[in-house]
């Protein structure tokens, strides 16, 4: 559980980064209002992973069911791929542009790694995601994929396909 100081922040609390371990100063506990936040979980998050060792390329993708509305114009997206090696990518607000087919694409370049991601809504309310990560391999076939959009997210651990 994470505690966050909410003084004067009631209007924008969903946009603030949450730092684990924030506590009031000793003796001030009764003077500072505190709220406890938990991350809203997707109803389902499914994942697949493909690892191309020869070209040093990782593909992850799947489907998820959000519990809250998704607005990529105002929400940060975080994608993590973890095995023996970890990669965490943050797509800031405004990173995504709409495609002609109603999806959203973004690109992030971090060091020698380049990632393209597609988020595609379906009429039923579910979403698909797909990301190609050039210059990164998780280093094991057991891969945990985590996706967070705004205040909701999910995680799945899968056995990756190797090429």
Exposure class string for 114-135: b at 16+ Cβ within 10 A, else e: ebebbbbeeeeebbebbbbbeb
Of 148, 151, 112, 116, which is closest to residue 133 (Cα–Cα)?
Answer: 116
Residue 1 has pLDDT above 80, yes or no: no
How confident is the model over 84-110, as pLDDT tens digits?
A: 999 999 999 999 999 999 999 999 988
Provide the CATH topology of domain 40-162: Immunoglobulin-like (2.60.40)
The pTM is what? 0.74
Q: Where are the domains of the chain?
A: 1-38, 40-162
- Mean of per-residue pLDDT scores for the chain: 81
The pLDDT assigned to 38 comes to: 52
Is the pLDDT higher at 133 or at 37?
A: 133
């Amino acid at each position: 559980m994470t505690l966050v100081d909410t003084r004067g922040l009631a209007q924008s609390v969903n946009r603030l980064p949450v730092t684990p371990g924030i506590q009031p100063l000793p003796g001030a506990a009764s003077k500072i209002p505190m709220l406890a936040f938990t991350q809203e979980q997707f109803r389902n998050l499914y994942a697949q992973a493909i690892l191309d060792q020869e070209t040093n390329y990782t593909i992850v993708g799947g489907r998820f069911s959000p519990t809250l509305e998704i607005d990529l114009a105002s929400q940060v997206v975080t994608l993590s791929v973890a095995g023996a090696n970890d990669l965490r990518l943050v797509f800031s607000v405004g990173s995504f542009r709409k495609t002609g087919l109603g999806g959203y694409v973004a690109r992030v370049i971090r060091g020698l790694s380049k990632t393209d991601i597609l988020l595609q809504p379906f009429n039923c309310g579910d979403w698909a995601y797909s990301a190609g990560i050039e210059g990164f391999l998780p280093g094991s076939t057991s891969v945990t994929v985590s996706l967070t959009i705004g205040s909701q997210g999910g995680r799945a651990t899968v056995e990756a396909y190797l090429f």
